[in-house]
Amino acid sequence: MTFKELNLKDDILSAINELGYEQPMPVQEKVIPFMLEQTADLVALAQTGTGKTAAFGLPVLNMIDASRKQVQALVLSPTRELCIQIANDLKGYSKNMRGMRIVPVYGGEDIRTQLRQLDTAPQIIVATPGRLIDLIERGKIELGAIDFLVLDEADEMLNMGFKEDIETILERTPDTRRTLLFSATMPKEIANIAKRYMKNFEEITVGTRNSGSENVEHVYYVSQAKQRYLVLKRIVDLNPDIYGIVFCRTRQETKEVADKLMHDGYNADALHGDLSQAQRDNVMQKFRIRNIQLLVATDVAARGLDVSDLTHVINYNLPDDVEIYTHRSGRTGRANKKGVAVSIIHSKERFKIKDIERMLRKSFVQEQIPNGLEVCKKQLFYMIDRMENVEVSEEQIEPYMAQIMKQLEYLSKEEILKRFVSLEFNRFLSYYKNAEDLNLPEHATRERGERGERGERGSKPGGRIRLKMNVGEREGIDPKRLLGIINDVTGDKSINIGSIEVTNKFSFFDVFADQLEQVVNAFAGQSEVEVSEAKGSRSSDGGRKPEYRPRTGGGSGSYSGGGYRGGDRSYGSRPSSGSNGGDSEKPWRNRDASDRGSSRSYSGSSDRRSGSSYKGGSSSYKKR
């Protein structure tokens, strides 16, 4: 298909031709004809980098009347950077259209400049929600005549806490408007907005839902948490050409990792919320022009950054939310290039990888952390390749060649090569000479995390053990109350609890083997309820029977050490729904969330240490 076949006006066709766009991208092939030929609203699932700005921008420009000096289209964007970028793209597409004016308005810049630009009576405003509301309230922007409203990166806007602002804005626009909503993911909140504010909308998906780019390979490395940084360095050293973002959880961690990398001689810098806007712009610009090879960033700070040729995205920690993983990994593998999304995890996080795999419907590959020798070899041949392919400037070198030849004439070719290689390579050799193996020993890997092939609830090899509590629905137990009881009795919110199932008389939940004793002993110390190991909770080969005895005292509560005799209950099947709370697609979650009275289902587990919930596809969003 060509742009011409899409029936765009000549002055738009000439502009995109000048921009060098030869063919419409898939999202454009779908969205442009839909917009031009039909009247319904649109929800489009598309990631950044797929060409979505032109997908909505070209038809909207095509339908706007440039001679009418009124705001006819509004584009909402989550960040100032994206806002500026969209406005610039639209200006590019409309550069041959007489009288078409596009003005971006966003926070973080003197409002007076924007007020002056608004005086030019633009037909299109591209805005971040907060600044737009400010300008509406000052009476400087009037949305009463808009025909098109585009919500770009709607999921990001919700992530950033703009839900109320978006609703306020939507209510200021006429019902006759046509609404286009673009989002990389489709959480429930987006579906709700679409349902509430959009009429007869069509849904278009580009690529697989939630799956991110097909060009992204997902790999992970398992190591001890305390060796994360060393693993990161090995990954970077194994990829000398790396150009990527290292995502961290907090500003503090971002700073620490970036500082260490810089100190260790890597071409890195940090991007986080403690920097001023000017500093952030500066770092982003240096990264864009590749003055920086590795950008260490928080999710929030990296939002506005649009770089399309990253080789790697590295999750220094796994994010709490599958959608964040999708966003991060979607930053690589763009524009038909291959990319790698790397996660550094510890053994107890394997289940998170499994959950993400399920959500994305993608297989992740566990890679062995390279040893020192492999890294050195890779670096060596990288250098040799560079030497082979380096552009030699005969003219500039010629004047010195005679002297160089003379000075080195006593050395053989082999000797020269050895010395040349050593010059750059000695640093690596000495660093990696006695480098330890960062992979977890085989037995540790097996014992700690592996889930049984048989899925969620069957017998599990060593990693997780299913416990039974002698209270169930008839005692008013639901997953939330169950977690509350576990919290109260153990007094330790860092215990991971997984796969909760509540039946009429009993409740079942998983714990990790190394936290089993703590849980069981805590319950043995009180008299209210009994906790015991559920029948078939361990695999026959991988599971050893507990070698410890429960603490005694404190009433009748007892750990019966596998003493469940309540019939032939099978845990191999998934819970249906409702009180069983099972939806294994929305897995491991945080017990804090349950304390807040979340009404969500609890098929998952929790990890309070991180203080964050691990959420699947249609997760609830919170202000960050």
309/415 with CB nearer ligand AMP: 309
Structure tokens, 498: 């997984």
Given a contact cutoff of 8 angstroms between Cβ atoms, the answer to whether 153 and 56 are in contact is no
Q: Count residues contacting ligand AMP (CB under 6 A)?
A: 12
Shortest distance, position 28 Cβ to ligand AMP, whole Å: 6
Contacting residue, 8, 12, 25, 75, with ligand AMP by CB under 6 A: 25
Q: Count Cβ atoms below 10 Å from residue 17 Cβ, excluding itself.
A: 13
Among positions 408-467, residues that touch ligand AMP (CB under 6 A) are: none
CB of 24 to ligand AMP, least distance (A): 5
Please identify, using beta-carbon distances, which residue of 205 and 470 lies nearer to ligand AMP.
Answer: 205
| CA–CA distance, 508 with 482 (Å, rounded to integer) | 9
Span interacting with ligand AMP, options 21-29, 68-76, 177-185, 244-252, rule CB under 6 A? 21-29
**Which residue's CB is nearer to ligand AMP, number 50 or number 179?**
50
Residue located via tokens 């032109």: 54
Across the chain, which distance is largest between two alpha carbons, in Å?
94
| CA atoms of 151 and 170, how far apart (whole Å) | 10
Stretch that binds ligand AMP, among 42-50, 195-203, 211-219, 267-275 (CB under 6 A): 42-50
CA–CA dist 39, 41 (Å, integer): 7
CB 425 within 8 A of CB 383: yes
CB of 151 to ligand AMP, least distance (A): 15
| 23 or 38: CB nearest ligand AMP | 23
- Helices 10-18 & 80-93, crossing angle to 10 degrees? 120
By beta-carbon proximity to ligand AMP, the closer residue of 158 and 206 is 206
Residue corresponding to tokens 């700690």: 448
Using the contact rule CB under 6 A, the part of the chain among 19-27, 261-269, 349-357, 433-441 near ligand AMP is 19-27
- Dihedral class, residue 523 (left if φ above 0, else alpha if ψ from -120 to 50, else beta): alpha
Per-residue x/- track, 333-362, ligand AMP (CB under 6 A): ------------------------------
- Which one of 22-30, 265-273, 381-389, 489-497 is the stretch in contact with ligand AMP (CB under 6 A)? 22-30
- In the complex, what is the shortest distance from the CB of residue 248 to ligand AMP, in angstroms, rounded to a whole number? 25
Q: How far apart are CA 591 and CA 555, in angstroms?
A: 27
Contact call for residues 123 and 98 (beta carbons, < 8 A): no
297 makes contact with ligand AMP (CB under 6 A): no
In the complex with ligand AMP, which residue's Cβ is closer, 3 or 220?
A: 3
Phi, psi of 111 (to 5 degrees): -65, -25
Q: Which residue number has the CB closest to ligand AMP?
A: 53
CA distance 320 to 250: 12
Shortest separation between residue 27's beta carbon and ligand AMP, angstroms: 8
Residue 229: in which H helix or E strand, if any?
A: helix 228-238
Question: Least distance from C-beta 17 to ligand AMP, angstroms?
Answer: 11
* Nearer to ligand AMP among residue 295 and residue 307 (C-beta): 307
Closest distance of CB 596 from ligand AMP, Å? 36
Cβ-based nearer residue to ligand AMP, 153 or 269: 153
Q: State which H helix or E strand residue 155 sits in.
A: helix 154-159
The single residue among 9, 14, 21, 211 that binds ligand AMP, judged by CB under 6 A, is 21
Is residue 261 classed exposed, middle or buried when 0-12, 13-18 and 19+ CB atoms within 10 A define those classes?
A: buried
18-26, 34-42, 113-121, 491-499 -> range binding ligand AMP (CB under 6 A): 18-26
**SS3 for 109-148, per residue?**
CCHHHHHHHHCCCCCEEEECHHHHHHHHHCCCCCCCCCCE
Q: Which two tokens stand for residue 25?
A: 């991208």
Q: In terms of CB distance, is 77 or 379 closer to ligand AMP?
A: 77
Closer by beta carbon to ligand AMP, 25 or else 341: 25
Asked if residue 24 binds ligand AMP (CB under 6 A), the reply is: yes
Residue partners of 440: CB distance under 8 A and separation at least 6 = 222, 223, 224, 347, 448
Contact 299, 288 (CB under 8 A): no
Assess 606 for contact with ligand AMP (CB under 6 A).
no
Residue 89 or 592 having the CB closest to ligand AMP? 89
Options 48, 123, 159, 537; binder of ligand AMP; rule CB under 6 A: 48
CA neighbor of 479 nearest in space, from 571, 590, 581: 581
Considering only residues 49 to 108 of the shown chain, the ones binding ligand AMP according to CB under 6 A are 49-54
Residues within window 299-328 making contact with ligand AMP, judged by CB under 6 A: none
| Least distance between ligand AMP and beta carbon 58 (Å) | 9
Q: Which two tokens stand for residue 400?
A: 């010195």
CB 179, CB 151: distance < 8 Å: yes
Contact 351, 589 (CB under 8 A): no
Q: H-helix or E-strand containing 54?
A: helix 52-63
Tell me how crowded residue 463 is: count the other CB atoms within 10 A of its CB: 25
User: Shortest gap between Cβ of 268 and ligand AMP (angstroms)?
Assistant: 25
Q: How far is the CB of 107 from ligand AMP (least distance, A)?
A: 21
What DSSP element (H or E) covers 179? Answer: strand 178-183
- Considering the complex, what minimum distance in angstroms separates the CB of residue 32 from ligand AMP? 10
The smaller minimum CB distance to ligand AMP, of residues 27 and 376, is found at 27
Binding interface with ligand AMP (CB under 6 A): 21, 23-25, 28, 48-54
